[in-house]
Amino acid sequence: MSSKITRRSVTAGLAIGALATPGLSIVSGRAQAKSVKMAMIAPLSGPWARQGQLLRQGAEMAIDEINQKGGIEKLGGAKFELVVGDAGDSTEKAKNAAQRLLSDQPDLIGGFGAWLSSFTLAVTEVTERAQLPWLTLSYSDAITNRGFKFIFQTSPTADWQAAETIPTALKLAEAATGKRPKTIGIIQDNTASPVSFGKQLREGGGLDKAGLKAVVDQIFTPPLSDATPLVDRVRSAKPDFLLLLTSAMPDCKLVLEKLDEFKLARGKIPLVGNGAPFGSPELLKTIGPELLEGLLFSVANWPLKGQEEFIESFKKRTGEPFLTQDGLCGYGHTWILKEALERAGAADKLKVAEAIRAMNLTTGPAARSFPGPIKFDDRGRRVDVPMIFAQWQKGIPLSVYPEDRALSKPFWPTVS
Amino acid sequence: MRTRAEANRQRWAILAFCVAILVLSFGVLKSAYYELVLTQVLLWAVLSLAWNLLSGYSGYFSFGHAAFWGLGAYTVALGMMYLDLTPWISIPLCSVVGAAAGALIGYPTFRLRGHYFALAMLAYPLATLYVFQWLGYQELTLPMKREAPLFYMQFTDPRLYVVLALGLLAAALLITLWVENSRFGMSLLAIKQNEPAAEAAGIDTWRWKMLALMLSGAMAAVAGGLYAVVLLVVTPEGVFGMLVSAQALILALFGGVGSLWGPVIGAVVLVPLAEGLNAELGDVLPGIQGVVYGFAIIAIILCAPEGVYWRVLDYLARRRPARQASLAPAAAAPGNIAALPRIPASRGGDLLVLRDIGISFGGLRALDGIDLAVPEGGLYGIIGPNGAGKTTLFNIINGFLAPDRGAITFAGGAITDLRPNQVCRRGVGRTFQVVRAFPRMSVLENVIVGAFAGEADDAAARRMALSALDRVGLSAQGDAIAGGLTTRELRLMELARALASRPRLLLLDETLAGLSHDDLGGILAVIRQLHADGTTVLIIEHTMQAMVRLVDHFTVLDHGRLIASGRPQDVVRDDSVIEAYLGKKWVDRVASTAK
């Protein structure tokens, strides 16, 4: 291999070298002299880019509302500005994005992200050291188990959700049918969040406490190539309901289609899931409304009563068929930071953090965006948060629990 | 193998590189972000150097270096979480973990070669990934130590991470340099270019490959350990994922495979490029950064298929042809040639004895009941038509093939079950029917590889090689690259390589084939001289004419059987020999003319 070097190849090398020089990355909603900056770090490229995009749309919508209403009042009407970092597809990229934002933007007052738990863990290692208040919707318990002072987790943690999902589902079933389910089937993959969920059920005593017997208990490694062996067990064991903990859509699709093929879908065996992916527009597009009808899932945050106006304007603005957890949280987190700024009275991250810690919001756009009050404990977890359940009803996942704020009434699927 | 002066120059280059990085870190870069990226550049460079140590030098491509990297990262993370072990201890410990993993992986995997090896290596990180998922280590974070941050390697000044990573990189560079300049590196290169030839020349290929993988694994694991400290979050996908293995490979391929600086060049260019593209384009045109990165790599592969380093080196070499020429004569300095090692010639006893050797390939009996005894100091020929089993016999003697039955003794000891390099070390040198050179090495280096078997000291091996070249009359071509030699020179070089191991028995496989009449005379003279010096020679030929003049004993093989044995002049009159060569008709004709 002794080809000759050419001028062209040298030029190409130089061009690549020039590209290699890292520069600043600032995407600003609106640049103005006296603006106050907040950060968002989320995956905007790679497999989770869509979720990051939804978060961003929610945040941008909140920013626009805030600025239209006169900006930050206590700061003389200063405009609120969003600075965005791409967490990409790896923890390394997420951490780099955080470090970059903090280096480029020394006057940030707070931020939120980074959607995937492991990204959030990496990002908050940076923000904590910089004493930047950071909000996240990620579920992992580890995020608020590290003794960090500047992290605020608006979602109930994964363990708590695991502990609450089953009892709440049983309550719904009993209310609807008058009978309490006795057996459960579990199909899950072995990624981070289903594993911690499953651990709570099996080793944490979640099943025993609920008086449930697991007649099917299957863990698979994604991607699933064929769901037949899993669903075959469901067919023979006939559990009273099936807990589906899949984190990837193709796997979810395979299981649902196989259930349908075995005549177990469409209410024959009620399905319960956990996590926002179960209510995503993509799931609807891939699987269709018929197979999804009746599927219940617990989730950290979902559109509730009192948000109708926001839901409509979000749909109009983005063209999405319905609002989900991501858009809602991007919106809500931005509003929480705005409220904190008003209470702090200064564009100072330490004072903003202090304001978030002292916060107890029950009204206003921030409080409306989350179930329960905006109030954090010492670890940065919200207190008095109810579990939310949503259910697919005629092609739309609607919140059905808690009753006082739910948009619809739940039904426990039964064979007609 | 570099000369001492070159090695020293490389050491200075490493020092200069370290100083440059320190100046960059402490003097130029002003943000924690750039320091973080710089730290990553250095760590990925170490991983790529680790990959290069195995794959670049030995040619055994690994798609699985993430296995070592990930084990290092998890060693540090788990050590800190569960044993409260400081990275100051656990990172050095990673070298043990990495080396052990290398041994464990190498033991079964080095049975494979080429693509099979590469693909098998791919399996290890993927399998380990699932193991760690199954163990429940999906997301580990290194706990923040507010009490004793320095003790737990948690610095507030990001430049200290640069210093640590730079320390690792300097160590990795020095290790690589040491490998390059010792028989370790030469043996790996020989394995890369022609593994059977290396084995036959006395290189214990298995041992060197294992050592390379263990050393490589240790380096990668240590870098992975520091990576965990820098990133603070360890996930199976993040450290065992395909991207990690690919990173190791891409950086080296880009920068220059099998070179000291290639992986460093790759890391210095590509890591900031990828990060810069991510930062610039990631949120504007999501995904475009991957496309640009891919195009950059494709462009480099098209323009510099062996990597940037080699391209630049070629370019500089062409710019300065004078310097290269001035290097040439040095090797042939007569003072270097040591006195010929005398072989203890105790003529009379049988040196090599074959008893009832048989081997079959499927239904074909390649050799069947061969008995042969070659006395010390003999010059024996084995002849026979094509397909008679001559080369198979050599392959059995030198250990490439294990016979189905029978026994071989050499100098009184059994060698039947020995591997080729062990047979070579006992004193059996061989050449091949089709010359097996190390084409990208110089003639002298080719022969030095052969000399390693008999010399424990690298300098002595070099002297031995010079002497062997002198014996075959190739001293003048010592610095020529083997790939450019004529057939005659190649044959002589291979002969010198066999001689350099100081064999008591030389197996020459059709050394005379394909040579012109003039060349033939020269080689015959060399063989006669070797024989006169006391070396026992066993030579294969199918041209009888040359052999009759050369050898003092003939053994004739046909269809795997020994059909005649004795003095040349008797054997050529043997009916069965004539029949084997010329057919039955000729036997009758010979018989009728004799009457």
Question: Residue B265: how many CA atoms within 13 Å on its side-chain side?
Answer: 21
Amino acid at B16: A
Q: Distance between CA atoms of A322 and A315, rounded to whole angstroms?
A: 6
Check CB contact of B278 with chain A, cutoff 8 Å: yes
Per-residue pLDDT, averaged over B503-530, amounts to 85
Quote the tokens at residue B262. Answer: 């290639």
> At how many degrees (to 10) do helices B205-231 and B159-180 cross?
170
| Nearest partner of A365 among A80, A131, A97, judged by Cα | A80
Domain spanning B350-594 has what CATH number? 3.40.50.300
Would you say residue A183 has pLDDT above 80?
yes
Residue A250 within any structural domain of the chain: yes
Instruction: Identify whether the C-beta of residue B222 lies closer than 8 Å to the C-beta of residue B115.
Output: no
Residues 163..222 of A with a Cβ closer than 8 Å to B: which? 190-192, 195-196, 199, 221
CA distance B165 to chain A (A): 16
Mutate to test the interface with A, among B278, B319, B481 (most CBs of A within 10 A): B278
Tell me: cis bond preceding A371? Omega within 30 of 0 counts. Answer: no
> Residue B328: pLDDT band by 50, 70, 90 thresholds?
very low
pLDDT over 70 for what percent of chain A?
91
Q: Are residues A286 and A259 in the same domain?
A: yes
> Residue A39: pLDDT band by 50, 70, 90 thresholds?
very high
Would you say residue A3 has pLDDT above 60?
no
- Contact check, Cβ <8 Å, A22/B275: yes
**Higher pLDDT among residues B582 and B262, named by residue:** B262
pLDDT of residue A29: 42
pLDDT of residue B282: 67
> Residue B334: pLDDT band by 50, 70, 90 thresholds?
very low
Per-residue pLDDT, averaged over B290-310, amounts to 82
CA distance B223 to chain A (A): 15
- Contact check, Cβ <8 Å, B280/A25: yes
Q: Distance between CA atoms of B430 and B514, rounded to whole angstroms?
A: 18
Using CB atoms within 10 Å of the CB of residue A248, give its burial: 0 to 12 exposed, 13 to 18 middle, 19+ buried: middle
Q: Are residues A127 and A51 in the same domain?
A: yes
Residue A103 within any structural domain of the chain: yes
State whether residue A82 is helix, strand or coil. strand
Q: Distance between CA atoms of A44 and A37, rounded to whole angstroms?
A: 19
pLDDT of residue B581: 75
pLDDT of residue B220: 96
Check CB contact of A399 with chain B, cutoff 8 Å: no
Residue A380 within any structural domain of the chain: no
Check CB contact of B290 with chain A, cutoff 8 Å: yes
> Residue B554: pLDDT band by 50, 70, 90 thresholds?
confident
A12 to chain B: which residues are within 8 Å by CB? Answer: 299-300, 303
Per-residue pLDDT, averaged over B252-270, amounts to 91
What is the tens place of the pLDDT at every residue in B50-91?
999 999 999 999 999 999 999 999 999 999 999 999 999 999
B279 to chain A: which residues are within 8 Å by CB? Answer: 22-25, 86, 96-97, 100
Q: Distance between CA atoms of B336 and B330, rounded to whole angstroms?
A: 10
Q: Are residues A243 and A175 in the same domain?
A: yes
Per-residue pLDDT, averaged over A288-309, amounts to 89
Would you say residue B285 has pLDDT above 80?
no
Using CB atoms within 10 Å of the CB of residue B549, give its burial: 0 to 12 exposed, 13 to 18 middle, 19+ buried: exposed
- Contact check, Cβ <8 Å, B305/A195: no
Q: Are residues A133 and A191 in the same domain?
A: no
pLDDT of residue B523: 85
Q: Please state the domain count of chain A.
A: 2
Q: What is the ipTM of this complex?
A: 0.79
Which of A2-16, A218-232, A392-406 has the lowest average pLDDT? A2-16
Check CB contact of A85 with chain B, cutoff 8 Å: yes
Would you say residue A104 has pLDDT above 80?
yes
Range of the domain at A267: 159-299+388-401
Q: Are residues A274 and A315 in the same domain?
A: no
Give the chain A residue whose CA is nearest to the CA of B137: A192
pLDDT of residue B348: 60
Residue carrying the six token digits 């070592």: B68
pLDDT over 90 for what percent of chain B?
41
Mutate to test the interface with B, among A24, A26, A91 (most CBs of B within 10 A): A91
DSSP string, B8-22: HHHHHHHHHHHHHHH
Would you say residue A4 has pLDDT above 70?
no
Residue carrying the six token digits 């460079």: B45
What is the tens place of the pLDDT at every residue in B348-370?
688 999 999 999 998 888 998 89
Angle CA(A68)–CA(A69)–CA(A75) in degrees, nearest 5? Answer: 105
Q: Are residues A294 and A313 in the same domain?
A: no
What is the tens place of the pLDDT at every residue in A121-143?
999 999 999 999 999 999 888 89
The total number of residues shown for chain A amounts to 416
What is the tens place of the pLDDT at every residue in B386-416?
888 889 999 999 899 999 999 999 988 899 8
Map out the domains of chain B as residue ranges: 4-21+51-260, 269-322, 350-594
What's the CATH code of the domain at A291? 3.40.50.2300
Give the chain B residue whose CA is nearest to the CA of A56: B283
Check CB contact of B277 with chain A, cutoff 8 Å: yes
B160 to chain A: which residues are within 8 Å by CB? Answer: none
Q: Are residues A173 and A277 in the same domain?
A: yes
| Nearest partner of A307 among A335, A277, A284, judged by Cα | A335
Residue A144: C-alpha distances to residues A154, A367, A380 (Å): 11, 21, 6
The answer to whether the Cα torsion of B470, B474, B475, B479 is positive or negative is negative
- Contact check, Cβ <8 Å, A96/B278: yes
CA distance B33 to chain A (A): 5
CA distance A59 to chain B (A): 15
pLDDT of residue A387: 87
- Contact check, Cβ <8 Å, B280/A121: no
Ramachandran region, residue B387 (left: φ > 0; alpha: ψ -120 to 50; beta: rest): left
Give the chain A residue whose CA is nearest to the CA of B127: A221
> Residue A354: pLDDT band by 50, 70, 90 thresholds?
very high
Q: Which of A5, A146, A196 is opposite residue B311, by nearest beta carbon?
A: A5
The answer to whether the Cα torsion of B581, B585, B586, B590 is positive or negative is positive
Residue carrying the six token digits 């030029």: A11
Q: Distance between CA atoms of B264 and A40, rounded to whole angstroms?
A: 34
Q: Distance between CA atoms of B317 and A13, rounded to whole angstroms?
A: 19
pLDDT of residue B170: 96
pLDDT of residue B330: 39
**Higher pLDDT among residues A111 and B545, named by residue:** A111
> Residue A14: pLDDT band by 50, 70, 90 thresholds?
very low
CA distance B438 to chain A (A): 16
State whether residue B221 is helix, strand or coil. helix
Q: Distance between CA atoms of A153 and A157, rounded to whole angstroms?
A: 8
Would you say residue A309 has pLDDT above 90?
no
- Contact check, Cβ <8 Å, B283/A86: yes
Residues 309..338 of B with a Cβ closer than 8 Å to A: which? 311, 314-315
Q: Are residues A69 and A205 in the same domain?
A: no
The answer to whether the Cα torsion of B501, B502, B508, B512 is positive or negative is positive
Would you say residue B517 has pLDDT above 50?
yes
State whether residue B590 is helix, strand or coil. helix
pLDDT of residue B283: 65
Which of A201-210, B13-22, B583-592 tops mean pLDDT? B13-22
